[in-house]
């Protein structure tokens, strides 16, 4: 009876935790959008194979895939405050905002991993398709867009994993005082010390969100496969 009452009482934390879902989804969506833009740009640079730009891009990929996301968030949020010229510039209006810094760090990190996915998928596209695009007089960007469409079948399953990782990575935004799901969970835990119940519910919310995203991408993958089959 006591255990049942405790389980019912633990559910009282759920409405507060659900208030952080919208912030979590905003950070995730904005980070994914920024990451997608960065990934397309970096993939295009790598496809151009310009020596200096390609080396800089590889350095960017190494930096953001080789260091923890938490470190990147701290550097983006706390780092600019060390420079007076940044604090005196227009950039400080954005870089002092935790939400902006979390999205920026998450987007730059996602952009690096997504670029790796795109590059690997493009390398798997038969070279004959590239030669056909060149024969038709297409630009490098047009050729890249054609290759990306043909690489969709390989990209979607891998990209769905990246979306899930970005959603889970958004929980690190709580370390810079953002009250998303994990931030609210930490605040409730600090007030109640009911650690198991609080973080168990937070984990369940993330599990549901990830499950919904996985199902959506499975539907998208099936539609993409049917489109390729008919085309």
56-115 pLDDT, tens digit per residue, is 999 999 999 999 999 999 999 999 999 999 999 999 999 999 999 999 999 999 999 999
Look at residue 116 in the predicted model and tell me its pLDDT.
Answer: 92
CATH, residue 43: 1.10.3720.10
DSSP 67: S
Provide the residue range defining the domain that includes 33.
2-230
Look at residue 99 in the predicted model and tell me its pLDDT.
Answer: 96
Look at residue 71 in the predicted model and tell me its pLDDT.
Answer: 96
Is pLDDT of 227 > 60? no
pLDDT band at 147 (very low <50, low <70, confident <90, very high): confident
Look at residue 4 in the predicted model and tell me its pLDDT.
Answer: 38
Closest CA relative to residue 27, chosen from 133, 172, 162: 172
pLDDT band at 1 (very low <50, low <70, confident <90, very high): very low
Look at residue 69 in the predicted model and tell me its pLDDT.
Answer: 96
Domain count, the chain: 1
Angle between helices 21-48 and 181-192 (to 10 degrees): 140
Per-residue pLDDT of 18-72, as tens digits, reads 999 999 999 999 999 999 999 989 988 998 888 899 999 999 999 999 999 999 9
Is pLDDT of 8 > 70? no
For residues 144 and 86, the model is more confident at 86
For residues 138 and 29, the model is more confident at 29
Look at residue 226 in the predicted model and tell me its pLDDT.
Answer: 63
pLDDT band at 139 (very low <50, low <70, confident <90, very high): confident
Q: What is the spatial distance between Cα 128 and Cα 132, in angstroms, rounded to a whole number?
A: 6
| CB 201, CB 18: distance < 8 Å | no
Burial label, 148 (beta-carbon count in 10 A; 0-12, 13-18, 19+): middle
Burial label, 71 (beta-carbon count in 10 A; 0-12, 13-18, 19+): exposed
Q: What is the spatial distance between Cα 202 and Cα 62, in angstroms, rounded to a whole number?
A: 32
pTM of the model: 0.87
Per-residue pLDDT of 172-210, as tens digits, reads 999 999 999 999 999 999 998 889 999 999 999 999 999
Length, in residues, of the chain:
231
Look at residue 2 in the predicted model and tell me its pLDDT.
Answer: 40
Look at residue 90 in the predicted model and tell me its pLDDT.
Answer: 93
Listing DSSP states for 80-106 in one string gives GGG-HHHHTSTTHHHHT-HHHHHHHHH
């Amino acid at each position: 009876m006591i255990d049942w009452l405790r389980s019912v009482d633990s559910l009282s934390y759920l409405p507060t935790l659900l208030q952080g879902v919208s912030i979590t989804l905003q950070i995730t969506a904005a980070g994914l959008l920024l990451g997608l833009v960065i990934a397309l740009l970096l993939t295009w640079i790598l496809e151009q194979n310009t020596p200096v730009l390609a080396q800089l891009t590889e350095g960017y990929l190494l930096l953001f895939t080789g260091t923890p996301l938490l470190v990147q968030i701290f550097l983006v949020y706390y780092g600019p405050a060390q420079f007076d010229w940044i604090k005196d510039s227009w950039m400080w209006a954005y870089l002092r905002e935790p939400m902006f810094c979390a999205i920026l760090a998450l987007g730059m990190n996602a952009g690096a991993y997504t670029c790796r996915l795109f590059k690997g998928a493009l390398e798997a596209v038969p070279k004959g398709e590239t030669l056909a695009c060149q024969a038709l007089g297409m630009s490098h960007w047009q050729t890249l867009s054609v290759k990306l469409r043909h690489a969709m079948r390989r990209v979607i399953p891998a990209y769905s994993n990246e979306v899930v990782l970005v959603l889970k990575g958004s929980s690190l935004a709580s370390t810079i005082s953002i009250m998303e799901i994990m931030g609210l969970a930490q605040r409730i835990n600090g007030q109640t010390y009911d650690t198991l119940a609080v973080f168990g519910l937070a984990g369940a919310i993330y599990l549901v969100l990830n499950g919904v995203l996985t199902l959506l991408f499975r539907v998208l993958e099936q539609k993409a496969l049917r489109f390729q089959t008919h085309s």
